[in-house]
Structure 1
Amino acid sequence: MPDAATPDKVQLRVSLYPWVPEADSLASWIEQDFETQHPEIDLVVRTMERSYDWLPGYVSDLAYEIDQTVAALTQEGDDSQDLIEVDTMILGALIERNAVAPFALSEPSFLPSAQEAVSQDGETWGVPHWTCGYFVISEDAGVREANDLTALLDRLADAGTERADIVGDIDGSWDAVMVYLDAFIDSYGDGDVQAALAAETLDPMVDSALRALGTSCAQDGEAMCGSDGVEKFATGGADALIGYSERLHPILATEGRTVANLHIASAPLGSGSHPMLFTDALVLSPRCSSERCQEAARAFASYYVSDRVFEVVLMGLDTDTSVARYLLPSTTTAFDTDAVAADPYYRQLEEEIQGARAYPTSGVPEARERGAIQAQVKTALGL
């Protein structure tokens, strides 16, 4: 990988997390704005279409595909990268394969769960950027008062509508494992997540909870916890939607939307409510070893998690629609920026993630590969 694009510029190749609303706009704005702030750096942002397997430009999803991500971080090639924003569920595998170098910033202040997600063996292995979790979105303010799954489902059933109680897409190969862990921790608090991941069968209490959720997801014999559900909820076809916080973006952008004045709660999926959060973090290639490359990498990471950039990206100010993305930032101060602090949904989200625990950085890819958890979660949900 060349260290400099020109004698006066250092080239920095970066792959951003691709699974965000209006991803192309984000990538374009980041590349242009960063180079305006740092003319000494030639930032090359990997095109988002390389991560989407339904597009002709697909190469690999470097946020999740471990072998391809290791190659992009450690080998020369057309798709080699200096920084990759990965879901930290695969971070343990990258560390084990010597595909990343320690990488940290002294500032800003990160959410405790985000810092936990990049820390291992006394080292910091990445700069957290996004966090994410499972939420319930509804017009019923009572969802925020439900402290366990039974209370939530009873609240939705008591509405007495003919609509589906709850919809959402939570049965994917990654999602099923993470929903199971979320429900496990909701039920057991400080339970052993590695033991839960390694088990061949679902914990009986968690299995019972997911079956109850599946019943509430059903309408006229159709299971609805395995479909997107956004349009159905946005146009008044369901009492609630379960999914990531950023599902608010397409809900609010839906043509013909009838729902308004929404309320958001961390999804209680078991006998209690103990939020868990994903973290997406920038990790550094060990091949970015020169002083110039490392300085450029630190400059980009500092820029990427700055309050100004977070405010623009969170609120969708880089887009044509200016609909907020409702992604969750990794820093505590991003919530205090003027536009974010004034947004009622972000205020709810900030409250709901207090005390959250990080998802593990190892064990999840193996559980996903085995497929037993996903199969049993789908069965429990009636899918």
Structure 2
Amino acid sequence: MRMSSGLLPRCCRYVASAVLLAVAAVVFSASAGCAAQNQRTVLRVIPYPDIPGDFDTMLAIVETGFEAQHPDIDLVLVRADVSDVYDLGYLAKVLTADTGRDGVHIVESDTIMMGDLALAGILRPQTFSMTDWHPLIVQATTVNGVRYGVPHWLCGNFLITRDAQLAGSQGVEDMYRRIREIKPQGPWLAGNYAGNSYLVLYYTQAWGENRPGTDDLQPAITGAIDSGAVGTLSVATALCDENGANPCVDGTYYNDFSPIFERTVRGEYAALQGFSESMWYMAQYGAISKEWYVSPLPVGRVNRNVLLGDAYIARKDMDTATAAAAEKFYAFMMQDATYRDIIFSGGSRGGVPVPRYLAPARLGIFDLPELQADIYYRRILAAMTSPGGTNYPNLYVPENRDRIYEQVMPYLNGTMPVLPRRGIMQHEGVRRQISQ
């Protein structure tokens, strides 16, 4: 028999009332949850778009790990091309555009791109700090006494070889002599000088290695081309000559370093010039990291560690909540566990995990047992903390890259490569080929 609610017995009316109250509570709770969800602070970040190994795994580690610690923050990781983060116009656009559309709050950028943005008044000065950052990367993120970057990774041009005596070369002339004794027939030293972003680094390093008492390398960027730096750099590039050609400067290896890694591991080159993470790519071709030495690349009269790196830069116009979220993001990325998870999540070869061989900006990370157990990582640390080091300039690099490229390249190659001048700074062109 169907009854209206007004005819229910009293006990049933109590039960019905309780049910209605419970339903109302659930609805209220759900509404409050939705409201709380909608109130999450959104933080949009562009990670540096090219690291060795599986990129998606790194993104998942960062997003999942951060939001587990900070559920009140919605971390949105925005992808960019490698060429984008070396384009000053692109960086200025994303750091000023509406964050509800194309804009972002933070970009992980190469330090050589940072200073011009700071002078343009786009960047937020940074207060987040760590006591164990490499002092040279702190200098590289500072403009006119103000720090605008939160250092994340270190980078430098290194000589990577199986031969301990070659790794001990003192200056480019000494390297030239030793490498030809080790391997009488060329080619000897592999590398890539073809892109303007690459060439400006090697030229600046040569300029600084010819002036070991000078820490300020800015004149290498803004001054007239120095014949001494071009001369010593050309000694290094000549070691790639092969059958009357030079694939290191004629564009053969432009944006595709895989032949460099493969041929060096096979012994066709005695050494390569590369970044610390080159070992991840070499391992894909069978290199055993403990067999390899790493030292500052001699392209001048002395060996000199000249560092740059990747750092987080932030837009100036953050509100209070977003600025607080950014501080939490920096703290998460600086944690020992975050560094460890990123470094050891790059994939494997033959079922054996291969570290990404990225160099942390925090020197304390090198003390972790996993890095201490890796001889190659200990050698990276020694190379990056060797005496007499300095940092690459972080001002006026973008506007001078083409000029330096056009004036230096003919002395290295004889003719200008028929290629776009813009060059990437990492090995993105080969990641998809060999990271499976």
TM-score by length of 2: 0.78
Which of 76, 81, 103 aligns to 1:44? It is 76
Q: How does 1:190-339 map to 2 (within 5 A)?
A: 190-191=213-214, 193-201=217-225, 203-226=226-249, 227=253, 228=257, 229-254=260-285, 261-290=291-320, 292-314=321-343, 316-317=344-345, 319=347, 322-339=353-370
Give the conservation status (yes or no) of the 8 Å contact 1:133–1:275. Answer: yes
**2:231 alignment partner AA:** S
Give the conservation status (yes or no) of the 8 Å contact 2:202–2:233. Answer: no
CA–CA distance in structure 1, aligned partners of residues 87 and 102 of structure 2: 14
CA–CA distance in structure 2, aligned partners of residues 95 and 302 of structure 1: 22
Deviation at 1:52, TM superposition (A): 4.8
Which of 49, 64, 68 aligns to 2:90? It is 68
Give the conservation status (yes or no) of the 8 Å contact 2:126–2:147. Answer: yes
CA–CA distance in structure 1, aligned partners of residues 136 and 273 of structure 2: 21
Partner deviation per Cα, 1:247-298 (whole Å, 9 max, x = no partner): 11100112x65997111111011001221111211111122222x2111101
CA–CA distance in structure 2, aligned partners of residues 257 and 105 of structure 1: 38
Structure 2 CA distance for partners of 1:240 and 1:353, relative to 1, 3 Å: same
The match for 1:18 is 49
Deviates more, 1:111-120 or 1:219-228: 219-228
Identity of aligned residues (%): 27
Which of 30, 50, 64 aligns to 2:62? It is 30
**1:198 alignment partner AA:** T
Structure 2 CA distance for partners of 1:265 and 1:301, relative to 1, 3 Å: same
The match for 1:57 is none
Give the conservation status (yes or no) of the 8 Å contact 2:183–2:270. Answer: no
Say which one has the larger Rg: 2
**2:157 alignment partner AA:** Y
Give the conservation status (yes or no) of the 8 Å contact 2:187–2:241. Answer: yes
Which of 89, 97, 100 aligns to 2:112? It is 89
SS in 1 for 2:75: strand
**2:377 alignment partner AA:** Y
The match for 2:37 is 6
CA–CA distance in structure 2, aligned partners of residues 284 and 81 of structure 1: 9
- Cα root mean square deviation, aligned: 2.1
Deviation at 1:108, TM superposition (A): 4.0
Deviation at 1:34, TM superposition (A): 1.5
Give the conservation status (yes or no) of the 8 Å contact 2:293–2:376. Answer: yes
**1:294 alignment partner AA:** A
Ranges in structure 1 where 5+ consecutive residues have no aligned partner: 54-60
**1:363 alignment partner AA:** Y
CA–CA distance in structure 2, aligned partners of residues 190 and 174 of structure 1: 25
CA–CA distance in structure 1, aligned partners of residues 238 and 366 of structure 2: 36
Q: How does 1:92-241 map to 2 (within 5 A)?
A: 92-191=115-214, 193-201=217-225, 203-226=226-249, 227=253, 228=257, 229-241=260-272
**1:308 alignment partner AA:** A
CA–CA distance in structure 2, aligned partners of residues 259 and 234 of structure 1: 11
Which of 343, 353, 358 aligns to 2:374? It is 343
Q: Does 1:375 align with 2:430?
A: no
Deviation at 1:162, TM superposition (A): 3.5
Q: Which 4+ stretches in 1 moved above 6 angstroms?
A: none
* Count of residue pairs the alignment pairs up: 364
CA–CA distance in structure 2, aligned partners of residues 317 and 310 of structure 1: 10
Structure 2 CA distance for partners of 1:52 and 1:362, relative to 1, 3 Å: closer
Partner deviation per Cα, 1:207-259 (whole Å, 9 max, x = no partner): 221221122111211213232211211222211101111111100112x6599
Deviation at 1:312, TM superposition (A): 2.0
Partner deviation per Cα, 1:298-357 (whole Å, 9 max, x = no partner): 11111112222112222x335455311111111110111111111111100101111431
**2:306 alignment partner AA:** M
SS in 1 for 2:295: strand
SS in 2 for 1:14: strand
Deviation at 1:5, TM superposition (A): 8.8
Specify which structure has the higher proportion of helix.
Answer: 2
Partner deviation per Cα, 1:130-185 (whole Å, 9 max, x = no partner): 11010111111112211111111111100134452111112311110111010111
Structure 2 CA distance for partners of 1:320 and 1:147, relative to 1, 3 Å: closer
